[in-house]
Every structure is written in C-alpha cells, then in structure tokens.
Amino acid sequence: MSEQPQHGVENWLSKAVPSDPRVDVRLRTDLGHVNVRGEVDNPNFLSVIKAVTGVSLPLTPNTHQLSEGDLRALWLGPSEWMIMAPSHRIDDMVGELRTRLSDAFAAINDLSGGMVTLEVSGSESTDLLSKGCTLDFHPLSFNPGQCAQSGFAKANVLIAKISDEPRYSISVRRTFADYVLSWMTARIGADGLGITSA
Amino acid sequence: MSTGQPYRLERDARVARSRVLNFTFNGQKLTGLEGDTLASALLANGIRLVGRSFKLRRPRGIMAAGAEEANAIMQIGSGDRAIPNPRATQVQLFEGLEARTTKGWPSVKFDLGAINDTVSGVLSAGFYYKTFMYPRRFWDLYERVIRAMAGFGIAPDEADPDEYEQQNIHCDVLVVGAGPSGLMAALSAARSGARVLIADEQNEFGGSLLSAAPGADGDLSGAWLAAQIAELESLENVRILPRTTAFGYFDHNFLTLAERCHDHLPVMQRSGVRERLWRVRAGQVVLAQGAFERPLAFGNNDRPGVMLASAVSTYLNRYAVKAGDRAVVFTNNDSAYQTAIDLHSAGITVVAVIDARSEGPGEIKTIFDALGIPLMAGHVVCDVIGRQAVKGVQVGRRVEGASETDIAMTLRCDLVAVSGGWSPAVHLHSQAGGQLHWDDGLKAFLPKPNDAVHNISVGAGNGIFNLKDCLESGVQAGAVAATRCGFESVEVPLPELKDWTQAPLEALWSVPAAKASGRPPKQFVDFQNDTSVSDIRLAVREGFESVEHVKRYTALGFGTDQGKLGNINGMAILAEALGRAIPEVGTTTFRPAYTPTSFAVCASESVRDLYEPTRTTAMNDWHQAQNAPHEVVGQWLRPWYFPRTGEDMDAAVARECRAARQSVAMMDASTLGKIDVQGPDATEFLNRMYTHDVDQMSIGRCAYGLLLGEDGMVMDDGVMARLGPDHYYLTTTTGGAANVLSWLELWLQTEWPDLKVHLTSLTDQYSTIAVVGPKSRAVLEKLDCSEDLSASAFPFMTVRPATLNGIAVQLFRVSFSGELAFEVNVDSRYAAGLWTAIYEAGGAFDMTPYGTETMHVLRAEKGFVIVGQDTDGSVTPGDLKMGWMLSKNKDFIGRRSLARPDSRRKDRKQLVGLLSVDGRTVLPEGGQITEDAPIVTPMPLLGHVTSSYSSAALGHPIALALLVGGRKRRGDRLLVHSANGEVVPVEVTESVFYDPKGARQNV
C-alpha cells in the first residue's frame, strides 16, 4: 500500500500563508478518528477503553479528556464518544478494542477516512467561530476541556476548546471540510487566514 | 456664514463646521456639514418639499428627526449600490451623497399625480376595493396602473456588490437604545461585572440628550455624556454598537440587530462588510428605545413646515439648523414649551404657543413667561394656509365637545411645531409577546412588565418623561438585570437634576375644524398612506370595527414607518368613532422589522458559492481532470458523464452504457448513505423497520431493503448487508442518508429504547466504487484480490471483507445496472488511489468511467426505481410491483397502512413502462398522461412520466411512468403531453425493458 492517504483538504496547503495571519488553521490530517459506542454502566467497557487507549472516557456531557501521546476522547452523547489519536495508532487500537469488547454491547467504528480535524487559533479565532456558530465561546462559558456539537455555517461540527490561547479543535465530515475552509476564507479574507499542515 | 446654507445657525452643535460635505438632491448641488443627517442638511439649505404622498400626491416636507419620519423617503446612490426608501432623517450625510425624491413626476414640485388630491373626495378609504373590482377582466390593466402609481424607491436590478456577514453574540444584558436611560442601564449592569451589549441606531450615543439645548439648566449633553460613554468604552465587559438597529425580538431573548458599518462613509472610503447581522442571545434585555412624539390631526396638517416640536428642537440644538423663521407652536402638553424656549433662544420668532388646554403648562411656565412669547391657552390650530409650504395658520377657540370652531385669527408663520403627546416605542416589547396597558394620564400605551421574557422597559419607552426619573429607571433596570444574571449590583451616582412638575396632557385626537362651507380640509393621521380622520370614520360607518380590519381598509399603519407617527392617533380616533375606550380597541400587531432592514443582511454570507455547502467525493479531482461536468444532487456535485473529445452528452452516455453492458465500466457511488448497525437487538430492530425478513439473512448475505413511512409509502431503499450475527451495514439513497439515520434513531430513542442497537454513520468514511459489466470480475482479479471472486465462491448478493492491492475493502456483489457488478467500499483516504488502480487494471478491457446519467439509463432499462424520482411519497410498494418485498411473517413500519382501503384501490397510480409509438421520441419527464382521445380541456390526467431516456442497448427510447390502474393497461395506447403542448402517442409496457429474467447480473 504505497498510496499516501488523502483527506480532501490537501489543495488548501498550496495557498500562500500570510505573514501575520489573524486566524491560523492547522489541518490535523495526522489524526485518526474512532467512534465509540457503549454503555457507561458496564465497568468492563470503560476499563477496556482506558486500558487500550490510555484515556478515560469523559462522562460529563460536552467535555473532553486529553491523554499522553496526543490522544483525546470527546463526549458526544450518553453512549457515544469520539477518540482522536495519531493515525498510526488507529488500526491497532480499533482491532484491540473490537476484540476485547466483542462480548459487550459496544460498537467501534474507524472514522479516520470520514473526518477531518482543523485546529483554529489566532487573535480573531473566537470571533470567526462566533460568525459561523451560535454557541457562546466567551471564556466565561467555553473553556479548555469543554466540547460541543453544533453547526458552523451550514455544516455540522464537533468543536473542542483545547487551550486558553485560545485554540479550538474543529472536527468536520470530510465532504464538508472544503466548504468550511471556503467559508472561513471568505469571512477572514485570504490575507488573514493561514492554513498549514500538522 | 459662507457655507451657502441659509438656515444654518451660528451656534454650538454636534456638527463640524470646518468639515463641509458636498451632496446632491434631485441633481442640485448642495452642501452640508459632517454630523448632519440628509434631513438636517436639506433643512439647512432651506429645502422643505421632499416628497409627495402615496395616494393623493400632496406635497410633503420633513416632519420628524428619526425613525418615525413618514414623508422624507429617499433614493440614495445609483446603480448596483442604490438604496431605495431610507428615511432622510436616518441617513448620515457623506461627501458625494446623491439623493433623489421617490415620488413626484415630472418633478416633486410639479407632480401630475397631484390631480388625485383635487379629486380626493372620491379617493376615500376603500376606493381601490370598491372601484377596481369590476369588471373583473380589467384587473390586469388596473393592477399595472396602480402599481405604477404606488411605491416609493426603486430597487436596483444589478446584483448587490457589497459584503454582509452575521455574528452570533451572547451577553448577560443587552441594552437597546443609548439615550440617558439606556446609558445608565448599561453602566450600572457593566459596573456589576455583567457582559453588556449596548446598541443604538444613531451614529452617536446620547439619544434625547443630543437634542437638548446646550448650556440649558440640567444639560447633560456635554462633559457628562462624554464621560459616561468613555467609561462604557473603557470596560472590557462592554461592547458598544452605534449605527445598529435592534429590529427583531424573538423567543428566548433572541434578538437580531443590523449594524450599518460603512454607509456613512464616502463610497471610495468604504471597505469590508457593509452591514452586519448581530444575532444576540441575551440573559436580560433592557429596552430603552425612547418615545415618539405624536402629531395633532388638524386641517392640512401635512403641509411642508408642519413638524414635530421635538424635531424642531433637534434640528436647532443638534444640527444648528432652523426649520423656519417664524414659528407657531401647537400643543396639548408641556413638552413643546421647551421647543418654544429653544426657538426663542436661537433668535427665531415664536409667533405664539397655541395650547389646547385651557390651563396652560405646569412649572415650565416660570421660564416661558419670562420670554414674553404670546400664549393662547384653550385654542387650537384648525387649518394651515399655504400649499407647498406653510404660510400661516388659522386659530380657533377650543370648545369642549364641538367638532367645529370659529376662526379667531390667522397667524402668519412658516413653521408649525406640533406636539400631541408621546407614545413609548413599545415595538420590541410587543414583538417579544409583551402586553400593553393604557395609561390614561399620559394617554399612551405602556409596556406591561413581562418577567416571562426577561426584559425591562425604561425611560421614555416606559412612559417616564422626566430626565431625572429616566436616569434612575436606567440605573435600577441595569442593576436588576445584572442581579438576575447572578451579579451583585453596584451604586451608580447620578447628577443633581431638578424635578419639573408638569401639567397633565389633554387628549386631542382630532382637532375641531374651522367652520366653513364645503368640504373641510383633510386632517391627516397616517401621513405616508394619506389616511385621514374622515377615512377612519368612514370605515366605521361602513361597518369596520376591529383595528386590524380598519388598518387594512384605510392603510393606517402600513408603509415604511409602520405607523410610528400616526397609529396611536388613528386608534384613538377609531375608539371615539366606535364609542369605545382606547384599550378596548387596542393596537395592531407589532412585527419585525422595527425599521426597514435589507434582505442582504438577513442573508448575510449565505449567498453565491456559500449559499449551500457543496460536497464532492474523494475521487472528484480525477473526475475533474477528465472534464466530467457536475450534476447537482442535493448538496453533492456528482460527475454527470465523461465526454471524450468531440462528444456531446448523448454520445458519451451511449458509449458509457455500451461499455457497461458489453465490457466493463466504473462509477463513483460514494454519495450513497451508509449506516453501521450493531447490537444484540440489531436484527429485531431492522426487522421492524424494513419490509423483508431480516432475520432470514445469513451472515455475508445482502438484501434489497425497503423502508416505508408509517403511512405505508415508500420512503427510502438500499442494500442491507449482514456482516455478523449482530452487525449490519445499510446503504441509503444519496438524498435520504441523513433522513434515514434520523428516522432510525427516532424509533430507537423514542419508541423502543429497550432495544440494544448502536447506529453510526459511515457515509463519509467509505467511498464506493462500482465496477460494472461482464468483465468486472476479470478487472478485480488483476488487483491482487484476497478473495476468490468466482460465481460459486462469491455469489450474487453477498459481501466479503477483502483486500485489493493490499488495501482493506468491503466487497459487495450487488448490481444497480443488471450486469455482473461489484461495489468496492474503501476508506475514503485511499479511494482516489484505488479508483486509479482499478481504472488502470481495466485498461485491457477499455475500462470506461461513467456518471449519473448512464447510471440512470442502466437502471431504467432494468426498471429499477429511484426513490424520490419515480416515487413521490404517495407510492406504496404494491404500486411499484414490489409486493413481493413485503414479508408476511412479521410486522414492520407501514404494514398496517397498506391494509387501508385506499392502499388497495384498483385505480392507484402504478409503475409502468412507456414506449413512444414512433420509437424515436424521448418522452418529457414530468409529461402528463391522458387517454388517446380528442384533446378537449380539461381532460382527466392519468399520471405522469417519471424517468425517460434513450436506450443504447435497446436502440429506442424508454420511459417509466406512474399511471392510474397501470398494471391492467399493458398494451394500451395513451398520450403524453409535454410542457410546450406537443403530444406523443405512447404504448404501455412492462417496467422492465432489459433482461427481464435478471440472468446477466447473476453470473
């Protein structure tokens, strides 16, 4: 298998990066995505996830947990999470989870080919998010450790605040990534948006 | 003064004298000053006639200084940036502004339409309804003439070149209006630490303070105002939005604000976003919108030069513009006395103050009397002399209860400053669902406190007209709002102000007319719509009672000002005529937008390329490189066909079809919806949702799955594959993907939460490559396939995990073409690479990529339906001849509905095939079907053509159709009608045209 994986956003990297962007977008094509479904009242489910991935699934709604090795678990629903981890870890992780949870009421789906995560930072990043999304991104109500599923313009997104800087992680279905980046470019202007790879 | 602005005064005001701005009005070159509105600049130039009324074409002048202006409706700019219908009172002057009046032909001074005024006796309320009804066939003509006469400005034909955007924002306290009350509310909330947003429609904060006479007793318009604004600007928890109108107040304290970012700048200096839509979600809202002064309804009260008293003061104090040289003030309350004082102190002759009240004013009398202005208490202005401008007024004694009075004297003047009291701007309060109550002292509707929607009305907007009390109400509301949001309130010291005792206002809804022979002059209530006192009374005589009906009969409260000026007067006159109390009559409904708001800002950035997301598959770059045009399928852009050099669409599709039928072809089917279903109850769940026996499927089997609505109608279809004992994989139609997932989740979460099933969308995860045709097996075998692809090892309608060139795939043996075919599902990251590899591996067989058009032809030849094209939500499986898909062994969604008599009617529309009798004509999709009979309209319509193509494999066109009782009509001759009137004779056939036994796919 010699082919380089393609996320459908690679063309954006050929655009010139402005010298002093107001918003930085890092295309985290190095990250894989695993959708995890299971029951929180099954202690085995939680402990297997912890043992295999190293992260404890967050049980508080709309929060996320970071663990060693750039691995993050985000709460999506009472029985649903997204785990984001470096792509090279995904195949083994998915395989091991499926094996060890084969008797549990759980579903492990690799969505690495279907999701793209953008990290958005910079002086106008909060402003940009507020243009496209109705949530309150003020530090009084959205802080590192929190995440939410919402709309951004007309795309569905999973937004997590990952540092105070501020820096946000925005995960979007791959077929909406181009639209989201076009929308951001239109709002901030090509001279204000710097798109780089991970 | 060298500005050439004869009505500009040498006095301190909020205009920059050194910054002269050039502008044009109806082509005439004029100058104004920075800080002017278009209205103040026109008045500074002595221009009074600014428009013609809507119906009677009477000459009209500027009446107000704000949003309530009904007459000065302009056309600003030209070409693609032309702005129709802004109020001159709200247009900030800029260098190079071009303004035109919107009424009056050939000119505003000489308007041929003014004939309407001469015959106004017949143009009373309801004239249009009564006159243009008959004869009915003339309505087309009437409508054209009426439309040409009606309307104001002209919207540009060109696309809007400007940019607009929206911004969501959350705050604890939103303050609407930055007058004295609003500023205090914002400050007191902000000091407590709350996140505060304060917006005002004007360019400058200050509201009524901006109109105060500078240096007068208790004047806060200077240093005090500047200090308050400076503090708000300095606070990090405050955002201030000047030039921003809160125009809509919706449920849950959601408000929409339109910010005009650069309309006040010369065109060359404008950049970036023109207007911004603020979508505000506020914890608490403080409504500090102030109040509108009411005019009085006396004869010819619409003549240019009759103005609201407060507007006269505003032009004087804020813009240093005198609206006239000799003024008469006519009032029924104390506030206009301030205008008389303002005029006098600016050196303008005040001929007299005519006060309808016999007692005259309250405490302000002490100042007023010292000035020596004549006061005529217990008198009214009953008529105005002058046509295009006020030349004088006729004054009569007011006799209680009399509708006429003798003219006591004529006063020569060129300005009439009028005050009929004040109406709080309750618009947003009412939009939010708040109730109003009538205050009989103030003669005004006031907002009823409405805790349910978390807002507080303050200041003049709450019927508080004393500056000291306004400031206090603001401070208090700010503190309450902040406290409700969890903050601790903080003291806000207020300046020492005198509390003026006012004499009560006296209602004077219609002014007694001068005794005269002949028809009395019109007393206007709604100036823009020419609604007069007599129109409202006529409506009542003709039987109208409800205020909403009277509004529609007389046009009271329509138009760009939405009754801001005239509505309360109109309702009071209606109440009088009905003999009812005003609160019984009530108000009309207040709806967004508060002032006219551009469509562009509502659409904001969702236009052109960003109107809708466009989705493309992982192979799109390859398709584009082959010059495949896109077909738009919902949000998806799919390759339509792959033309070779010199080929048109028909030729390309015919070639692609031949390749699929004779050799091998491939298509990108990635847009199909894909859903992973897992859990111990997955089989039970799917058995309840789908029509076939899911529990009979063995692992590795695929089945065609049909999903019905509760009404038994076909909702979606796709392939279901059983991957494990508790594990399924569903595909859905491209357009149905999201709906099907929601539909399944809905049943799981709301009806059967006991079922243990997990659903996960895999639509974006997997790309799908269909390899189709007799040689498809041979092509895949060249890709180092991990599985034995032979018919015995890998039969039709099965699925296997496999690898192709080492890439993991799910390999399906399914067919949407009727040919031997495989569908490869692959991680989208590797789809483009695998697509190329398959294409190259097929080179020996002239591998042919094909698009959606060929897919349609291939499936139509086989009679396969597309849900949503061959069905429309009213089609049962039986109608599609798919009764065999309905299990008799179990229940499933929609089953019971299929037992209804209606679902079993013999004359239901059923799927059939149609062939044009001439064997050449491709039938029009959507074409209606009738009996083959002489065409007499109307004739019964028997159904329509749903799919139609020319078929290369068959050598003639084919069509699918839904036809009444179609199954019994095989061999019948019918007619298909196209939109252009052509009629094609057709023959009804079976819906499967090609390989009816299905031998070709099962090899």
Q: Which 8-state DSSP code applies to residue B8?
A: B
**Cα torsion for B314, B320, B325, B329, to the nearest 10°?**
20
Alpha carbons B877 and B706: distance in angstroms, whole number: 8
CB contacts < 8 A, A to B, total 122
Among A118, A171, A166, CA closest to A142: A166
Are the beta carbons of B385 and B394 closer than 8 angstroms?
Answer: yes
* Reported ipTM: 0.97
* Residues of chain B with C-beta less than 8 angstroms from the C-beta of A142: none
Give, as one character, the DSSP assignment of residue B106: B
Q: What is B164-291+424-484's CATH topology?
A: FAD/NAD(P)-binding domain (3.50.50)
Tally Cβ neighbours within 10 Å of residue A85. Answer: 23
Chain B residues in contact with A35 (beta carbon < 8 A): 760
Instruction: Give the nearest partner residue to A1 out of B765, B766, B806, using CB atoms.
Output: B806
B898-1003 sits in which CATH class? mainly beta
The CATH number, out of the four listed (3.40.50.970, 3.30.465.10, 3.50.50.60, 3.30.70.1400), of the domain defined by the range B673-762: 3.30.70.1400
Q: Is B465 on the interface with A (CB under 8 A)?
A: no
Cβ neighbours for B965, distance < 8 A, ≥ 6 positions apart: B906, B907, B908, B910
Distance CA B668, CA B663 (A): 18
Calculate how close chain A gets to B841, using CA atoms only, in Å.
16
Give the burial string for B524-533 (b: 16+ CB within 10 Å, else e): bbbbbbbbbb
Choose among A105, A114, A154: nearest Cβ to B680. Answer: A105
Query: Would you say B199 and B244 are in contact if contact means Cβ atoms under 8 Å apart?
Result: yes
Q: Strand B415-419 and strand B306-308: pairing?
A: parallel
Select B1-157's CATH number: 3.40.109.10, 3.10.20.440, 3.40.50.300, 1.10.10.10.
Answer: 3.10.20.440
How many beta carbons lie within 10 A of that of residue B549, not counting itself?
12
User: Under an 8 A CB cutoff, do A7 and B764 touch?
Assistant: no
Closest-CA residue to B587 (of B424, B453, B454): B424
CATH of domain B295-420: 3.50.50.60
Domain limits, chain A: 10-29+114-197, 31-110
Which helix H or strand E contains B445, and what residues bound it? Answer: strand B444-447
Minimal CA separation from A155 to chain B, in Å? 7
Of B281, B610, B829, nearest to A113 by CB-CB distance is B829
Q: Which among B760, B763, B767, B783 is the top mutation candidate for probing chain A, defined by the most A β-carbons within 10 Å of its own β-carbon? A: B760
Tell me if the bond preceding B808 is cis, omega within 30° of 0.
Answer: no
The Cα–Cα gap between B653 and B810 comes to 29
Name the token pair of B151. Answer: 């309307």
- What is the largest distance, in Å, between two alpha-carbon atoms of chain B? 115
Question: According to the model, what pLDDT value does residue B1 have?
Answer: 42
- Nearest-Å Rg of the Cα atoms of chain B is 38
Does an H or E element contain B409, and which? strand B407-412
Distance between B616 CA and the closest CA of chain A, angstroms:
6
**Residue A127 with chain B: CB contacts under 8 Å:** 167
How near does any CA of chain A get to the CA of B824, in Å? 15
- Determine contact: B763 vs chain A, CB below 8 A: yes
Rounded Cα–Cα distance for residues A85 and B107 (Å):
73
Q: Give B829's contacts in chain A (Cβ within 8 Å).
A: 5-7, 112-113
pTM (two decimals): 0.93
- Rounded Cα gap, residues A55 and A77, in angstroms: 17
Is B766 in contact with A114 (Cβ distance < 8 A)? Answer: yes
Give the sign of the dihedral formed by CA A38, CA A44, CA A50, CA A56: positive
Flag residues of chain A having pLDDT under 70: 1-2
- B149: contact with A, CB 8 A cutoff: no
Look up residue B292 and give its amino acid: F
Q: Rounded CA gap, B71 and B47, in Å?
A: 13
Domain ranges of chain B: 1-157, 164-291+424-484, 295-420, 519-604, 622-671+766-861, 673-762, 898-1003
Q: Domain A31-110: give its CATH code.
A: 3.30.70.1520
Chain A residue at shortest CA distance from B677 = A107
Say what the alpha-carbon torsion angle A116, A119, A123, A125 is, to the nearest 10 degrees.
40
Q: How far is B195 from chain A (nearest CA, A)?
A: 10
* B140 vs A: CB within 8 A: no
Check CB contact under 8 Å for A186 and B833: no
CB contact under 8 A, B679 and A6: no
Which of B605, B678, B829 is the closest to A187 by Cβ? B605
| A1 to B760: CB separation less than 8 angstroms, yes or no | no
Q: Give the pLDDT confidence of B108-125 residue by residue, as tens digits.
A: 777 777 777 777 766 777
C-alpha B385/C-alpha B483 separation (Å) is: 56
Question: Which of A103, A101, A84 shows the shortest CA–CA distance to B680?
Answer: A103
Strand partners, B299: B523
Q: Looking at the complex, does the CB of residue B165 fall below 8 Å from at least one CB of chain A?
A: yes
Closest residue in chain A to residue B827, using alpha carbons only? A113
Cβ distance A111 to B764 less than 8 Å, yes or no, reads: yes
Q: Which of A12, A34, A131, A180 to mutate to test the interface with B (most CBs of B within 10 A)?
A: A131
Distance CA B551, CA B545 (A): 10
Burial class (CB in 10 A: 0-12, 13-18, 19+), B241: buried
Q: Is residue A76 a contact partner of residue A107, using CB atoms and an 8 Å limit? A: no
CATH number, span B622-671+766-861: 3.30.1360.120
Are the CB atoms for B976 and B945 separated by under 8 Å? yes
Percent of chain B having pLDDT more than 90? 87
B946 part of contact set with chain A, CB < 8 Å: no
Q: Is there a contact between A106 and B166 if contact means CB atoms under 8 Å apart? A: no
What does the pLDDT read at residue B886? 96
CB B444 within 8 A of CB B423: yes
Chain B nearest C-alpha distance from A4 (Å)? 8
pLDDT recorded at residue B2: 47
* Distance in angstroms (rounded) separating the CA atoms of residues A57 and A72: 9
Helix (H) or strand (E) holding B538: helix B533-541
Comparing alpha-carbon positions, the chain A residue that sits nearest to B613 is A179
CB B503 within 8 A of CB B359: yes
Superfamily per CATH, domain A10-29+114-197: Probable tRNA modification gtpase trme; domain 1 (3.30.1360.120)
Given B165, B168, B832, which is nearest A134 (Cβ)?
B168
Residue matched to tokens 């067919």: B815
Interface of A with B (CB under 8 A): 1, 3, 5-8, 35, 37, 79, 105-107, 109-115, 127, 130-131, 133-136, 138, 140-141, 153-155, 173-176, 178-179, 182-183, 186-187
Predicted local confidence at residue B217, as pLDDT:
66
Distance from CA of A125 to the nearest CA of B (A): 13
For the beta carbon of residue B978, count every other beta carbon within 10 angstroms: 16
Alpha-carbon distances, residue B831 vs A1, B191, B632, B681 (angstroms)? 12, 58, 21, 32
Same fold flag, B519-604 and B898-1003: no
Q: What is the pLDDT of residues B612-654, one digit of tens each?
A: 999 999 999 999 999 999 999 999 999 999 999 999 999 999 9
pLDDT of residue A1: 44
Question: In DSSP terms, which residues pair with A116 in a beta bridge?
Answer: A172
Q: Is B567 helix (H, G, I), strand (E, B) or coil?
A: helix
Please tell me the CATH code under which domain B519-604 is placed.
1.10.10.1100
- Please state, as a whole number, how many other Cβ atoms lie within 10 Å of the Cβ of residue B6: 11
Q: What DSSP state is assigned to residue B559?
A: T
> Which of B165, B170, B609 lies nearest to residue A138, judging by beta carbons?
B170
Nearest Cα of chain B lies from the Cα of A55 at a distance, in angstroms, of 22
Residue B33: beta bridge partners?
Answer: B20
For residue A159, what are the β-bridge partners? A148, A170
Strand, coil or helix: B342: helix
Please report, for residues A93, B748, B865, B883, the alpha-carbon distance to residue B887 in angstroms, rounded to integers and kept in the order given. 40, 21, 20, 9
Report helix angle B223-234 to B180-191, nearest 10. 40
Name the helix (H) or strand (E) containing B307.
strand B306-308
Q: What would the DSSP string read from start to end of B185-249?
A: HHHHHHHTT--EEEE-SSSSS-GGGGGSPTTSTT--TTHHHHHHHHHHHH-TTEEEETTEEEEEE
Residues of A in contact with B169 (CB under 8 A): 130
Residues of chain B below pLDDT 50: 1-2
Give the other-Cβ count within 10 Å of B182's Cβ. 30
Q: What is the pLDDT of residue B1002?
A: 87
Q: What is the nearest CA distance from B610 to chain A, expressed in angstroms?
A: 7
DSSP B67: T
B638 close to A (CB below 8 A): no
Q: Residue B3 has what pLDDT?
A: 58
Contact indicator for B471, B333 with CB cutoff of 8 Å: no
Instruction: Output the six-digit token pair for B113.
Output: 């339409």
Chain centroid, CA B347 distance in Å: 49
| Per-residue pLDDT tens over the stretch B300-315 | 999 999 999 999 999 9
- Please report, as a single letter, which amino acid is at residue B901: P
Do B613 and A154 lie within an 8 Å CB cutoff?
A: yes
Q: What is the 3-state secondary structure (H, E, C) of chain A?
A: CCCCCCCCCHHHHHCCCCCCCCEEEEECCCEEEEEEECCCCCHHHHHHHHHHHCCCCCCCCCEEEEECCCEEEEEEECCEEEEEEEHHHHHHHHHHHHHHCCCCCCEEEECCCCEEEEEEECCCHHHHHHHHCCCCCCCCCCCCCEEEEEEECCEEEEEEEEECCCEEEEEEEHHHHHHHHHHHHHHHCCCCEEEEEC
User: Is the Cα dihedral B739, B742, B746, B747 positive or negative?
Assistant: positive
Q: Characterize B293-307 residue by residue with b for buried, 16 or more Cβ atoms within 10 angstroms of its Cβ, and e for exposed.
A: bbbbbbbbbbbbbbb
pLDDT digits (tens, 9 = 90+) for B675-719: 999 999 999 999 999 999 999 999 999 999 999 999 999 999 999
Q: At what angle do helices B547-554 and B533-541 cross, to 10 degrees?
A: 120
Q: Which of residues 657-686 of B touch A (CB under 8 A)?
A: 676, 678-680
